[in-house]
């Protein structure tokens, strides 16, 4: 993508230079892959597989007009602190890094609408995610999450529309709010569940979500109690029966 000598502020120019993007002496950017500029400010930045990029540079906190940031495939084991200064950020992609946890300040990115964390090593989510009132899409595919994160109920309450949990070793449904059961049963999952601590004794063989490549459809296939021949047409019927 080429630019006709787009002039940048001194701070934004220094920020790009800190990750190895060369700027002219007159603080002009002529061409660079992964950058979109609007009204003289950088609004989108992709630094995928940035082997020589210094992603810890505090200079990057000056990119305050960013609404899209992609730092996928950079071997990040923690989020750079400067990201919390990006108050206009709407779309954050951190796929295929080695993140084991998210910082509490992630909840300060109030404009965030999409967060993608595919292919990391997350085992849980911070409760501060509930502060992301505008979040519509959350991708957690291929992580190490074993127990349904409670904060997902809060996010759904806020208006979360899409959540992906494929290829996680989930083994408990105890965190799912019954209020949002219908929504979460439309998740795309490839792992089977066995809920041992929720008080709802559902057999593993019968418990997978719709669109799973293996197992049964939670919404339409019969659910049965362990050591019982009694079956329910849907999971909702199982819950309702056990509430009586």
DSSP 90-112: -EEE-TTS------GGGGG-TT-
Query: Binning pLDDT at 50, 70 and 90, where does residue 147 land?
Result: confident
CA 179 to chain centre: 22
At residue 173's C-alpha, the angle toward residues 172 and 174, to 5°, is 95
Residue 38 has pLDDT above 70, yes or no: yes
At residue 215's C-alpha, the angle toward residues 145 and 95, to 5°, is 35
Give the strands of the sheet with 114-116, arranged side by side: 35-38, 41-46, 68-70, 91-93, 114-116, 137-139, 162-164
Dihedral sign computed on CA atoms, order 204, 210, 212, 216: positive
Q: Domains of the chain, with CATH numbers?
A: 34-243 (3.80.10.10)
CA 224 to chain centre: 33
What confidence tens digit (pLDDT) does each residue in 43-92 have?
Answer: 888 887 765 578 888 888 899 999 999 999 999 999 999 999 999 999 99
Query: Binning pLDDT at 50, 70 and 90, where does residue 164 land?
Result: confident
Query: Binning pLDDT at 50, 70 and 90, where does residue 235 land?
Result: very low
Residue 125 has pLDDT above 70, yes or no: yes
Residue 232 has pLDDT above 70, yes or no: no
Query: Binning pLDDT at 50, 70 and 90, where does residue 33 land?
Result: low
Mean pLDDT of the chain: 73
Beta-bridge partner residues of 37: 42
pTM for this one? 0.74
Q: What percent of the chain has pLDDT over 90?
A: 35
Average pLDDT over residues 82-110: 96
Residue 97 has pLDDT above 60, yes or no: yes
Query: Binning pLDDT at 50, 70 and 90, where does residue 205 land?
Result: very low
């Amino acid at each position: 993508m080429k630019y006709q000598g787009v002039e940048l502020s001194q701070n934004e120019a220094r920020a790009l230079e800190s990750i190895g993007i060369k700027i002219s002496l007159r603080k002009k950017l002529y061409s660079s892959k992964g950058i979109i500029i609007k009204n003289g400010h950088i609004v989108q930045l992709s630094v995928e597989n940035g082997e020589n990029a210094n992603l810890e540079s505090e200079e990057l906190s000056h990119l305050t007009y960013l609404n899209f940031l992609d730092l996928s495939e950079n071997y990040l084991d923690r989020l750079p602190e400067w990201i919390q200064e990006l108050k206009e950020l709407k779309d954050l992609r951190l796929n295929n890094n080695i993140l084991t946890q998210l910082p509490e300040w992630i909840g300060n990115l109030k404009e965030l609408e999409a967060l993608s964390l595919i292919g990391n090593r997350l085992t849980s989510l911070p409760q501060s995610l509930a502060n992301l009132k505008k979040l519509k899409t959350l991708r957690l595919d291929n992580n190490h999450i074993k127990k349904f994160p409670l904060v997902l109920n809060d996010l759904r309450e806020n208006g979360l529309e899409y959540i992906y949990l494929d290829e996680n070793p989930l083994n408990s449904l105890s965190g799912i709010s019954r209020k949002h059961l219908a929504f979460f049963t439309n998740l795309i999952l490839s792992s089977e569940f066995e809920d041992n601590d929720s008080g709802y004794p559902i057999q593993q063989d019968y418990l997978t979500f719709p669109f799973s490549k293996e197992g049964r459809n939670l919404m339409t296939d019969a659910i049965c109690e362990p050591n019982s021949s009694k079956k329910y047409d849907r999971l909702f019927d199982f819950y309702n029966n056990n509430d009586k």
